[in-house]
Amino acid sequence: MELKMSNLTKKFRDMTAVRNVSYTMTAGVYGLLGINGAGKTTLMRMLCTLLKPTGGSITWDGEDIFEMDGEYRKILGYLPQDFGYYPDFTVYDYLMYIASIKGVRPAAARQQIKLLLDQVGMKKAAKRKMKKLSGGMKRRVGIAQAMLGDPKILILDEPTAGLDPNERIRFRNLISELAGERLVLFSTHIVSDIEYIANEILLMQGGEIKASGTAEELLSAMPEEVWSLEVEKKEIERYMRNYKVSNVKTIPGGAVLRLISSEKPSSRAVREEATLEDLFLDYFGERAGENDDEI
Partner 1 sequence: MMRYEVKKVFSRTSSKIAVLVLFLVMGVTCFFALDISYVDEEGNTQKGLDAVSKLKAAQKEWAGELDEEKISQVIAENRRIRTSPEALAQDITQNEIAYSRGQGIKEIRELLNCAYAKGFREYDYYRADSLTEEMAADFYKNRTALLKEWLEGEAKDQFSDKEKQYLIERYESLKTPFYYDYMAGWVQLFEFAPTIVMISMLILCYLVSGVFSNEFAWKSDAVFFSSEYGRNRAVLAKIKAGLCIVTAVYFAIFFVYTGIMLLYLGADGWNLQVQSSMAGWKYFYHITNLKKYLVIGAGGYIGCLFLSFLSMFVSARTKSTVMAMIAPVMVLFLPSFVGNIKSPVVNKILGLLPDQLLQAGNALNFFNLYSIGGKIVGEIPVIIVLYAVLTAALLPALYRTYQKAV
Ligand X SMILES: Nc1ncnc2c1ncn2[C@@H]1O[C@H](COP(=O)(O)OP(=O)(O)O)[C@@H](O)[C@H]1O
Query: Does residue 50 interact with partner 1 by CB under 8 A?
Result: yes
Q: Say which entry of Mg ion, ligand X, partner 1, none residue 48 contacts (CB below 5 to 8 A, set by partner kind).
A: partner 1
**Burial (CB count within 10 angstroms: exposed 0-12, middle 13-18, buried 19+), residue 79:** buried
| Distance in Å, CB of 18 to ligand X, minimum | 7
Query: Does residue 205 interact with Mg ion by CB under 5 A?
Result: no
State the Cα angle at 86 between 67 and 109, rounded to 5°. 65
| Distance in Å, CB of 17 to ligand X, minimum | 3
Of positions 21, 32, 40, 45, contacts partner 1 by CB under 8 A: 45
**Angstrom distance (rounded) from CA 120 to CA 177:** 10
CA 59 to chain centre: 21
Query: Does residue 34 interact with ligand X by CB under 6 A?
Result: yes
Q: For the residues of 55-112, what is the DSSP string, one character each?
A: EEEEEETTEEHHHHTHHHHTTEEEE-SS----TTSBHHHHHHHHHHHTT--HHHHHHH
**Angstrom distance (rounded) from CA 126 to CA 129:** 8
For partner 1, which is the closer residue by CB, 155 or 231?
Answer: 155
Stretch that binds ligand X, among 10-18, 105-113, 246-254, 269-277 (CB under 6 A): 10-18
H/E/C letters for each residue in 183-215?
Answer: EEEEEECCHHHHHHHCCEEEEEECCEEEEEECH
Query: Does residue 41 interact with ligand X by CB under 6 A?
Result: yes
| Distance in Å, CB of 202 to ligand X, minimum | 12
For Mg ion, which is the closer residue by CB, 108 or 161?
Answer: 161
Which residues sit at the interface with partner 1, rule CB under 8 A? 45, 48-52, 69-70, 73-74, 76, 78, 80, 82-89, 93, 96-98, 100-103, 145, 149
Q: Which residues bind Mg ion (CB under 5 A)?
A: 40-41, 81
Binding site for ligand X (CB under 6 A): 12, 15, 17, 34, 36-42
